[in-house]
């Protein structure tokens, strides 16, 4: 920029003699001060950390003495100080869990036990005790996770048989209360595979027992309500509560629980399926169809989904579509009598009498087998308990059960009963 006379202006002239200059020395002072403060802070932190690390670590003996005399707070202080430098000391972790339990903090005790390293020989018992602690405060889901982790097979870290058996029994009690027998069967077979002889026969009988007897809903609901109150996010407990409410005639309460399940987890296929069953049984067709049209992502893998779709097609009079859906349900689970029965009815509508008659015979065969199961089960028990029964009688009773299981589609149980018959 130049003046009228052509003389260039200096910077000071161009900006104006009255304009304030930037205070650069003050800015540099601020930056240097902040940097110095950070440096001093880092040095102080490192000095503090060094001094802290030099403090003597309490021995386990002093913590153990405090535990033995019931001074749980002192024991916890000593153990936390020890774990500060030895965070994977399994013995100290277990002792700290004991200190928390002594102060009536069972949830805290359980979570501390879960910190025991996987490679430690104390891990199996820690998992078992963690499950027990969770269960005592009605956190059923957390207890289940701990026990399932315990019975998970790991060849590098074998679980003692006694602990494995106890964990399986605890899981079966939980599944019995929540009526979750589909989850119980894998646990039963895992226990069966780890035993032999008479112990195997006991687990085999455990596989049959839920087919014949269940816990009364009035008794189960007392436990399940506590599970939901302690852990509102426990989907399985909430679903079990809904089913128990429905069985006891508390329809509004059951519906509220099902709706809560579907809201919390829209992809919970089990809750969606059970809610649909309730709506269908109650004759609420419009709500049934509305819910059916909004399936979870994995719904197509559930045979009941196709049964419901077949039922909806029947209501519309679309017999060809109903046949296709019922046929898909049969393919996914070929041992459910009602699938064959409804498929036979649709085939009759379509004029295919021969196939309809074959499906009715299959339905009748499975229903007959189911009705014979209690007698066969009691017959085997009588033969086993009788001092005068011959081995041939026991074997015949086992083979009869094996035959019934084969008709009902329980292939693993049928194989086990036939193997037992040979051993008897």
Model confidence pLDDT, tens digit, residues 80-101: 988 888 889 999 999 999 999 9
pLDDT for the residue 267:
95
Q: Read off the pTM.
A: 0.84
Count H helices and E strands in the chain, helices first: 22, 0
Domains and CATH numbers, the chain: 56-104 (no CATH), 122-207 (1.25.40), 216-301 (1.25.40.10), 371-423 (no CATH)
Asked if pLDDT for residue 170 goes beyond 80, the answer is yes
Mean local confidence (pLDDT), 241-251 = 96
Asked if pLDDT for residue 129 goes beyond 50, the answer is yes
Contact 126, 116 (CB under 8 A): yes
pLDDT tier at 16, thresholds 50, 70, 90? very low
359-372 per-position pLDDT tens digit: 999 999 999 999 99
pLDDT for the residue 62:
85
370-421 per-position pLDDT tens digit: 999 999 999 999 988 876 778 888 899 999 999 999 999 999 999 999 999 9
Mean local confidence (pLDDT), 107-122 = 95
What span, in angstroms and rounded, lies between the C-alpha atoms of 31 and 229? 56
Mean pLDDT computed over every residue of the chain: 89
For the beta carbon of residue 291, count every other beta carbon within 10 angstroms.
18
pLDDT for the residue 4:
46
Mean local confidence (pLDDT), 149-168 = 90
Helix residue spans in 16-137 (DSSP H): 24-54, 60-68, 72-85, 90-102, 106-113, 123-136
Helix residue spans in 194-284 (DSSP H): 198-208, 217-230, 235-247, 251-264, 269-281
Asked if pLDDT for residue 177 goes beyond 50, the answer is yes
For the beta carbon of residue 19, count every other beta carbon within 10 angstroms.
8
User: DSSP assignment of 79-93, as one string?
Assistant: HHHHHHH-TT-HHHH
Using CB atoms within 10 Å of the CB of residue 20, give its burial: 0 to 12 exposed, 13 to 18 middle, 19+ buried: exposed
Q: What angle do CA 173, 175, 176 make, to 5 degrees?
A: 65
pLDDT for the residue 11:
47
Strand partners, 8: 2
Separation in Å, CA 283 to CA 278, 279, 288, 289, 325: 9, 6, 8, 11, 20
pLDDT tier at 254, thresholds 50, 70, 90? very high
pLDDT over 90 percentage in the chain: 73
Mean local confidence (pLDDT), 338-363 = 96
What span, in angstroms and rounded, lies between the C-alpha atoms of 84 and 93? 11
What span, in angstroms and rounded, lies between the C-alpha atoms of 171 and 163? 12
pLDDT for the residue 57:
60
């Amino acid at each position: 920029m130049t003046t009228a006379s052509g003389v260039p202006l200096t910077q000071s002239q161009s900006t104006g003699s009255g304009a304030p200059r930037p205070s650069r020395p003050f800015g540099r002072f601020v930056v240097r001060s902040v940097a110095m403060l950070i440096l001093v802070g880092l040095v102080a932190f490192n000095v503090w950390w060094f001094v802290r690390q030099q403090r003597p670590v309490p021995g386990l003996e002093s913590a153990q003495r405090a535990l033995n005399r019931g001074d749980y707070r002192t024991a916890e202080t000593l153990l936390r100080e020890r774990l500060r430098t030895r965070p994977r000391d399994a013995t100290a972790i277990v002792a700290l869990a004991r200190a928390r339990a002594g102060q009536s903090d069972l949830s805290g005790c359980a979570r501390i036990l879960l910190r025991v390293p996987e490679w430690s020989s104390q891990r199996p018992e820690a998992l078992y005790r963690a499950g027990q602690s969770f269960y005592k405060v009605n956190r059923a889901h957390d207890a289940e996770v701990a026990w399932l982790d315990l019975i998970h097979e790991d060849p590098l870290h074998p679980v003692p048989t006694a602990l494995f058996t106890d964990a399986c029994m605890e899981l079966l009690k939980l599944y019995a209360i929540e009526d979750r027998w589909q989850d119980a069967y894998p646990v039963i077979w895992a226990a069966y595979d780890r035993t032999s002889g008479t112990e195997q026969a006991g687990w085999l009988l455990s596989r049959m027992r839920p087919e014949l007897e269940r816990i009364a809903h009035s008794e189960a609901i007392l436990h399940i309500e506590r599970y939901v109150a302690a852990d509102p996010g426990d989907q399985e407990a909430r679903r079990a509560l809904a089913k128990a409410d429905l069985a006891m005639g508390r329809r509004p309460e059951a519906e509220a629980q099902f709706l809560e399940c579907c809201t919390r987890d829209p992809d919970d296929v089990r809750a969606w399926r059970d809610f649909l069953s309730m709506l269908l049984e109650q004759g609420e067709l419009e709500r049934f169809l509305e819910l059916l049209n909004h399936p979870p992502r994995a719904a197509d893998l559930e045979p009941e989904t196709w049964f419901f779709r077949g039922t909806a097609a029947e209501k519309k009079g679309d017999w060809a579509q109903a046949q296709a859906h019922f046929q898909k349900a049969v393919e996914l689970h070929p041992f459910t009598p009602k699938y064959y029965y409804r498929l036979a009815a649709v085939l009759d509508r379509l004029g295919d009498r021969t196939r309809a008659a074959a499906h009715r015979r299959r339905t009748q065969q499975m229903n007959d087998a189911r009705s014979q199961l209690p007698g066969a089960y009691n017959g085997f028990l009588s033969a086993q308990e009788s001092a005068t029964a011959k081995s041939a009688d026991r074997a015949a009773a086992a083979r009869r059960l094996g035959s019934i299981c084969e008709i009902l589609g329980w292939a693993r149980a049928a194989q086990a009963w036939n193997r037992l018959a040979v051993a008897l």
